[in-house]
Structure 1
Amino acid sequence: MSLYSFGKPIVSGLFKLFFRYKVIGEENVPKDGGVLLCSNHLSNFDPPMIGCACPRELSFMAKAELFKIPLLKQLITRLNAIPVKRGHSDRQAFKMTMKLLEEGKTMTIFPEGTRNKTDQLKKGLSGAGFFALRTNAHVVPCAIIGSYKLFKPIKVVFGEPIDFSELKSRKAKPAEATEIIMTHIQALIDQHKS
């Protein structure tokens, strides 16, 4: 049994106890094929929270600095994290993400590139659009709604996969695809916030 499979029910139980999280739309995550899961980013708790909510095992990008901490590096590597250098294009991270998506894995990314605790999303980085247009992965928008305050409910909402066939056929730019992704995430936030 992998560390991910072993740890998921434990972390899920803790999150249900302390954050009372609720999952909406998990049926929107395809059971097969590569999935690019694009979410807003409120907190460092987001990757494990989405991991608990999602029916599939996730990989995710983590800032390269975390991989310089010996024990943490071993832990997050075993939990499917790949390092990404922030602030400029990281070819190695791009190649690894493309490979995972082509292998039919589920990759979680936060298109804003940094944490944002407001209900209004910042402009997304074009990497999300690049993967949406250059792979055959299903692109699933995700919204985390709440504040990670003890015993205050949090929602994790998965939207329906976004159809990029029209953008692919006219060879749209990644920035345009990212904008569409961000619009879908924002719509989930607006629809489900209480």
Structure 2
Amino acid sequence: MNLYKFARTIVAIILFPFYRIKVIGKENVPKQGPVIICSNHISNLDPPVVGITSPRDIYFMAKGELFEKPILGKLLLGIHAFPVKRGLSDRNALRKGLKILDNQETLGLFPEGTRSKSGELGKPLAGAGFFALRSQAVIIPCAIIGPYKPFKRLKVVYGSPVDMEHYRQSKASAKEAADGIMEEISKLIETHQK
């Protein structure tokens, strides 16, 4: 068993009962081919929660500073995280993300770029739109509906694929594409919040 599968199993054993995680729409995630899962971001636990509820292994970007600590850096690489320099246009991270998709893998993104302290949806950065427009990946919106409170229900909802074709045909900007993806996440939250 590799480190990713091992970590995923351990984290699932802990988090599923602790947050009474309910997963909806997992069948919307394609079994093969490149996929981008785009989720809202309300907690530091979001990456592991998306990781254990997705039917596919996911590669996530993580802030570059975390990789400067030797042991943590190696661990993060082992669980499919890769570094991104925040606040900059990090070409290496963009190339790495596109390579993951070229390899028919799954990329996990939080379009807001940072956690929402209020739990409200923030404005997306252009990154998710960049990957969506520059690849042929299927874009799956994901809503994490909290709060993260012990033994209270936490929902993870995977929506239907976002149609990117009209964005490509209208030569939309990466920011416009990211706004469209966020709109789909917002709809999932509205539909499943009750």
Q: For the superposition of Structure 1 and Structure 2, which TM-score range results when normalised by the shorter chain? A: over 0.9
Q: What is the number of residues matched between the two proteins?
A: 194
Unaligned 5+ segments in structure 2 are none
Q: Distance in 1 between matches of 2:171 and 2:35?
A: 21
Secondary structure of 1:72's counterpart equals helix
Runs of 4+ in structure 1 deviating by more than 3 angstroms, as ranges, are none
Q: 1:55-86, CA deviations, whole angstroms, 9 ceiling, x for partnerless residues?
A: 00000000001111222111111000010000
Aligned to 2:15: 15
Aligned to 2:32: 32
Aligned to 2:129: 129
CA contact (8 A) 2:143 2:189 kept: yes
Q: 1:125-175, CA deviations, whole angstroms, 9 ceiling, x for partnerless residues?
A: 011111111100000100101121111110111001111112112221111
CA contact (8 A) 2:4 2:79 kept: yes
Q: TM-score, normalised by structure 1?
A: 0.97
Greater mean alpha carbon deviation, residues 129-138 or residues 163-172: 163-172
Aligned to 1:75: 75
The yes-or-no answer on 1:58 pairing with 2:58 is: yes
Aligned to 1:175: 175
Quote the RMSD (CA, aligned, Å). 1.0
Aligned to 2:43: 43
**Matched AA of 2:103:** E
Greater mean alpha carbon deviation, residues 91-100 or residues 117-126: 117-126
Deviation, structure 1 residue 34: 0.5
Deviation, structure 1 residue 102: 1.1
Unaligned 5+ segments in structure 1 are none
Q: TM-score, normalised by structure 2?
A: 0.97
The yes-or-no answer on 1:90 pairing with 2:77 is: no
Taking only the aligned residue pairs, the percentage that are identical comes to 51
**Matched AA of 1:21:** I
Aligned to 1:101: 101
